[in-house]
């Protein structure tokens, strides 16, 4: 396997960086579990264990930072379900946003994002923001349909991208400006609602904005992704090598 090829796929064996990063993230997960003792302890422990195993096979520091958002999805779900912990949720959302900036910076310094990183990033974002959206919806912060908009925003592109890859086509697995803006809006609006409710401040105005902005942002993302991937969607399958 060439160095270029190895950067764009999950290796068939664990990497040293992957093992070290996974061990650090798992240790942080376990400390959080012991200190917080959240409901669903066993489920969360199993989730963190699966992520640690998967992470040990991921090459590249940028991909490890990206995967950390999937680890943060556990605390995000727990805090979004508990009205008394919405300030902590806002902190977790902010931390997740920071990792999104850091993984991009690392990828650029190491020569640009790989196809693996480009595919991993939206999937992990979907897991994280999906957890936040579902938790806040169950907790009554906003209606279920808005949570479903957030889930579809990430789930649909991931499903279509997977189908294109399996069909032998070549989708563009990379950030688009519209997609980045959409993710930023989701993070700011969901985190803002959580923070305001946690502080006991009425968030009806921000909720009303979210009910308009998030569906529009999701639709704009779908259109942008379709245009960016139109050759792969309507063209012929790429020849097999």
Dump pLDDT digits (tens) for 183-195.
889 888 887 887 7
Between 174 and 222, whose confidence is greater? 222
Alpha helices by DSSP H, listed for the chain, are 3-6, 16-36, 41-55, 61-81, 86-109, 115-138, 144-166, 177-198, 204-228, 230-234
**What is the model's pLDDT at position 5?**
42
DSSP annotation of 84: G
Reply yes or no on whether the pLDDT at 112 is more than 60: no
Q: What's the confidence (pLDDT) of residue 192?
A: 84
Report pLDDT for 168.
76
- Residue 48 in this model has a pLDDT that exceeds 80: yes
Structure tokens given for 51: 């992520």
Going from N- to C-terminal start, the domains of the chain cover 73-234
Structure confidence by residue, pLDDT tens digits, 7-43: 444 447 888 999 999 999 999 999 999 999 998 999 9
Concatenated DSSP letters for 138-203? HTTSS-HHHHHHHHHHHHHHHHHHHHHHHTT-----S--HHHHHHHHHHHHHHHHHHHHHHTT---
Q: Which two tokens stand for residue 149?
A: 């908009």
Which residue is listed with tokens 């590249």? Answer: 60
Closest CA to 118 of 233, 9, 6: 9
Locate 131 and state its tokens: 């957890």
Report the alpha-carbon distance of residue 212 to residue 130 in Å, rounded.
18
Determine contact, residues 206/90, Cβ cutoff 8 Å.
no
Q: Which fold has domain 73-234?
A: 1.20.120
């Amino acid at each position: 396997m060439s160095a270029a090829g190895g950067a764009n796929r999950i290796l068939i064996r664990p990497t040293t960086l992957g093992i070290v990063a996974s061990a650090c993230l798992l240790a942080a997960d376990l400390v959080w579990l012991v200190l917080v003792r959240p409901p669903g302890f066993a489920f969360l422990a199993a989730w963190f264990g699966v992520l640690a195993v998967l992470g040990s096979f991921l090459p590249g520091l940028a991909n490890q930072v990206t995967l950390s958002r999937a680890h943060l999805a556990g605390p995000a779900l727990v805090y979004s379900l508990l009205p008394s912990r919405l300030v902590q949720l806002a902190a977790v959302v902010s931390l997740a946003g920071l990792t999104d900036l850091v993984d991009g910076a690392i990828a650029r310094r190491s020569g640009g994002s790989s196809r693996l990183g480009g595919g991993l990033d939206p999937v992990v974002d979907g897991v994280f923001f999906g957890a936040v959206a579902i938790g806040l919806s169950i907790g009554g912060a906003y209606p279920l349909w808005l949570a479903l908009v957030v889930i579809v925003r990430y789930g649909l592109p991931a499903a279509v991208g997977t189908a294109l890859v399996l069909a032998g086509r070549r989708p563009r697995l990379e950030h688009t400006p519209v997609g980045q803006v959409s993710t930023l809006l989701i993070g700011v609006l969901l985190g803002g609602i959580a923070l305001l409710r946690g502080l006991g401040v009425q968030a009806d105005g921000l909720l009303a904005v979210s009910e308009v902005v998030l569906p529009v942002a999701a639709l704009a993302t779908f259109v942008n992704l379709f245009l960016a991937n139109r050759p792969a969607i309507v063209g012929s399958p790429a020849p097999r090598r």
